[in-house]
Amino acid sequence: SPEKGINALSVAASAISKFSWGRLDEETTMNIGLFKSGSAVNVIPESAELEGEIRSFNIQKVENQFEKVIEIFKSEAEKSNAKIEYEYFWDFKPYTVSQDSEVYMKTVNAIKKVGLEAIPKISLGGSDANSLNARGITSVNLGIGAQNPHSNEEFIFIEDLIKSSEIALELIKK
């Protein structure tokens, strides 16, 4: 009797359809990267498991968006007497380092010393700098010239690798 079961896939899909995905504003993105449901083609899916992320330079925007996600999933679950369980954690908290800070200025000077120009950029990416800053250790993230990052074709030019090591050596000297 398929009509007697609670289709978890349908509940989750209904909730997902209520959101905008990708870039939400100039500093916030949201994505579901994994969606697992069901155990066989002839069985009503009794569970659905989703994994996603919300990234922003603004912690409050992440928290507000997460609350919206949970509210909508709860609302959709109630319509079918389904249950919802969720887990929320920070992989990488956003951070900002002042261009007047000692760490920033020493880094810029090290870059100049090896003959390059420092080009400050903001990024939604995660790095060790996120973890260090979250623990109160002021840190900046340095790009190393990676090409096609996070792909099977990722690489770095040897010249960029050498310059990156020269910058690291300058920072160690300081």
Are the CB atoms for 35 and 50 separated by under 8 Å?
yes
Q: Domain residues of the chain, as ranges?
A: 2-79, 102-173
Instruction: Tell me the fold of 102-173.
Output: DNA polymerase; domain 1 (1.10.150)
User: Residue 99 carries which DSSP code?
Assistant: T
| Tens-level pLDDT at each residue, the chain (174 residues) | 667 789 999 999 999 999 999 999 999 999 999 999 999 999 999 999 999 999 999 999 999 999 999 999 999 999 999 999 999 999 898 999 999 999 999 999 999 999 999 999 888 888 999 999 999 999 999 998 999 988 899 999 999 999 999 999 999 996
pLDDT of the residue at 2: 67
CA distance 97 to 103: 8
Q: Tokens 């300081």 — which residue?
A: 174
Are the CB atoms for 144 and 161 separated by under 8 Å?
yes
What pTM did the predictor assign? 0.77
62, 134, 63: which is closest to 97 by C-alpha?
134
pLDDT of the residue at 66: 96
Task: Domain 2-79: give its CATH architecture.
Answer: 2-Layer Sandwich (3.30)
pLDDT of the residue at 174: 60
Give yes or no on whether 2-79 and 102-173 have one common fold: no
pLDDT of the residue at 125: 85
